[in-house]
Amino acid sequence: MIHRKRNRKIKVPKYLYIVSLGLLLFLSVGYSMINSTLGIEGNVVASKNNWDIHFDNITYADDSIKPEVSPSIVNETELNYNVSLERPGDKLLFTFDIVNNGSLDGIIDKIDFTSLTDDQKKYINYEITYENGKQIQLKDILRKEEIKKVKVLLEYKDKRSNDEYPEENIELPLKIFINYIQAKEEVYKLDINHNNIVNSYSVINTKEALKIPDEIAESDNAIICNNNSIPTISDTNELIITNIKQNTSCSIVKTLKDAIDLIENENNYITLIKSQTINEAITIPKDKSVIINLSNKEINFNGNETLITNEGNLIINASSSSIVNTSAAFINNKEEAKLTINNGIYNKLNSTNINEAIIIGGGLININKVSMTSDSNTLILDKENSIINIEESILISNNNADSSIINKSNNSIINIYSSEIIGEAKKAIVNEKAGNIYLCNTKVKAKEFDISSTNKKVFYSKNSTFTNNDNNPLTENNNSIRSDIACKKY
């Protein structure tokens, strides 16, 4: 009896239908514009488009059984074949191509595959996927002149328990139905590279958000995309990519430095997928532009050098819970470089050099809605003709630092709006050279007099306040403060 059960045949004598329904499009566009003073008539006829999606190139695997009747493609959309699986372990495994030889992109709008019953699944394995194992799904795109290979597997499982085999022969009518229609909008392709394996995805407009599968998104620590495409981490910790355009590619890498090494000339966007400890210094090269999204992650840097040297255009976007901890300077912004920091918490702790700061350098620096705390200075401006804008931020220096903000450059401007500048150890702001410092709606607190200037070119608005650490008003001691300017941005 057991022997009889193990040699029952699974007969599959029916048809495997693979159908592609298309749209042959002839487009004619006319227009007429008439008004009371000018009449324009004209006619525009778009060239004929060709719709040709069909199936081709049936290829069997070396270890596959061969059907009793070789498959034949009928009318380019139907496959017919007969096959018998005689014993456990037998399998039919073949591939075929979905070919788009037309001039229009196609998109899947309907899929109908034969479903097995729960009992059948015990002894039959039936899979239809793309060759790379990815599931065939609605809205999958087949671009003009593109070929996608499909893999079909029908396997009689080799079970250890004979009780799981059927007692009688089983006939299974199999059907694969994939319906393509014209993609009405332009199709955009996104390639994601990880460990030299490329996974391709498609969207039909730039506003469509693409969720990356967790097994890919969580495989490493950072992602970089080109072409202004934006990778973000959602509130549910999913990796989402938006603003996908033509020729967009992303790479998932181990570290922030690995991502920086891949930046192109411009339009690069990096997002941290996981918090990380960084051991190597990073440089943003001149003439290159990048946005780094810290999302809600944490960076820890224990090196003795500056973490990021910016020679190009760097934008750091963060959430209110993003944290950067460094033992040295966080960013050195070089002359003519541009730096913008939006949100986040930045700490410089356990520093061995109290003359450093969280941010040093010059160029153009914009600081918005951040919190910076340093056991030395928070910001040192030492490049000529620089501009720094600080808005809705809190900058705190403690320990033995001379000041929270120090200007060491001539002809530079520091604009501070709606912020708090605190020097717990000594001063809050020191202007060593001929630079202008403008304060508007800002609270300044220091142990000693809050603003020190050697050139009487420090300005503040009447809307700002100056107190010591006990919140008592401080009195200017060198007549360097003016209050006759309007509260405005420069």
Split at pLDDT 50, 70, 90, the class of 35 is: very low
The proportion of the chain whose per-residue pLDDT surpasses 90, expressed as a percent, equals 22
Percent of the chain with pLDDT over 70: 75
Per-residue pLDDT tens over the stretch 156-184 = 887 655 666 776 666 666 777 788 888 77
Contacts by 457-461, CB closer than 8 A, 24 or more apart:
457/431, 458/429, 458/431, 458/482, 459/483, 459/485, 461/485, 461/486, 461/487
Looking at residue 404, its pLDDT comes to 85
pLDDT at 2: 36
Q: pLDDT tens-digit profile of 460-481?
A: 666 888 888 777 776 655 455 6
pLDDT at 459 over 70: no
Counting Cα atoms < 13 Å in the Cβ hemisphere of 476 gives 14
**18 burial via Cβ count (<10 Å: 0-12, 13-18, 19+):** buried
Cα dist. 107→138, 246, 304 in Å? 8, 17, 54
pLDDT for 39 = 30
Asked if residue 153 has pLDDT above 80, the reply is: yes
As given in the structure block, the two tokens for residue 352 are 């061995």
Residue 85, judged by CB atoms within 10 A of its CB (0-12, 13-18, 19+), counts as buried
Tokens linked to 57:
């190139």
pLDDT tens for 96-130 read: 899 999 888 888 888 878 788 888 888 888 888 99
At a CB cut-off of 8 Å and minimum separation 6, what does 75 contact?
none
Q: What is the CA radius of gyration of the chain?
A: 33
pLDDT band at 483, cuts 50/70/90? low
Q: What is the architecture, at CATH level 2, of domain 275-482?
A: 3 Solenoid (2.160)
Using the predicted structure, report yes or no on whether residue 386 has a pLDDT greater than 90. no
Q: Which residues contact 164 (CB under 8 A, 6 or more apart)?
A: 122, 123
**pLDDT mean over 217-238:** 86
At residue 219 the predicted structure's pLDDT band, cuts being 50, 70 and 90, is confident
Distance CA 165, CA 158 (A): 9
Is pLDDT at 75 greater than 70 in this prediction?
no
pTM over 0.85: no
pLDDT in tens, 312-345: 999 999 988 899 998 888 999 998 899 999 999 9
Highest mean pLDDT among 73-87, 148-162, 172-186, 355-369: 355-369
Domain residue ranges of the chain, discontinuous segments joined by +: 2-182, 275-482
Q: Hey, how many other C-beta atoms are within 10 angstroms of the C-beta on 56?
A: 12
Distance between start and end Cα atoms, the chain: 93
pLDDT confidence band for 224 (50 / 70 / 90): very high
Cα–Cα distances in angstroms (integers) from residue 221 to residues 165, 288, 317, in the given order: 47, 22, 17
Residue 87 has pLDDT above 70, yes or no: yes
In this prediction, residue 328 carries a pLDDT of 87
pLDDT of residue 42: 33
Per-residue confidence band for 292, with pLDDT thresholds at 50, 70 and 90: very high
- Rounded mean pLDDT of 425-452? 78
Query: Quick one: pLDDT at residue 177?
Result: 79
Q: CA-to-CA distance for 359 and 356, rounded, in angstroms? A: 8
Q: Which residue has the higher pLDDT, 272 or 138?
A: 272
**Residue 340: count of CB within 10 angstroms of its CB:** 16
Better-scored residue on pLDDT, 188 or 76 = 188
pLDDT at 31: 25
Whether 74 has a pLDDT exceeding 70, the answer reads no
Residue 307 — very low, low, confident or very high, per pLDDT cuts 50/70/90? very high
Stretch 87-97: mean pLDDT: 85
Quick one: three-class SS letters along 345-360?
A: EEEECCCCCCCCEEEE
For range 214-238, the mean pLDDT: 85
Cβ proximity of 260 and 290 under 8 Å? yes
Burial readout 375-413 (b: 16 or more C-beta within 10 A, e: otherwise): bbbbbbbbbeebbbbbbebbbbbbeebbbbbbbbbeebb
Q: Is the pLDDT of residue 426 over 50?
A: yes
Residues in the chain: 490
pLDDT of residue 46: 40
- Please state, rounded to an integer, the average pLDDT across all residues of the chain: 78
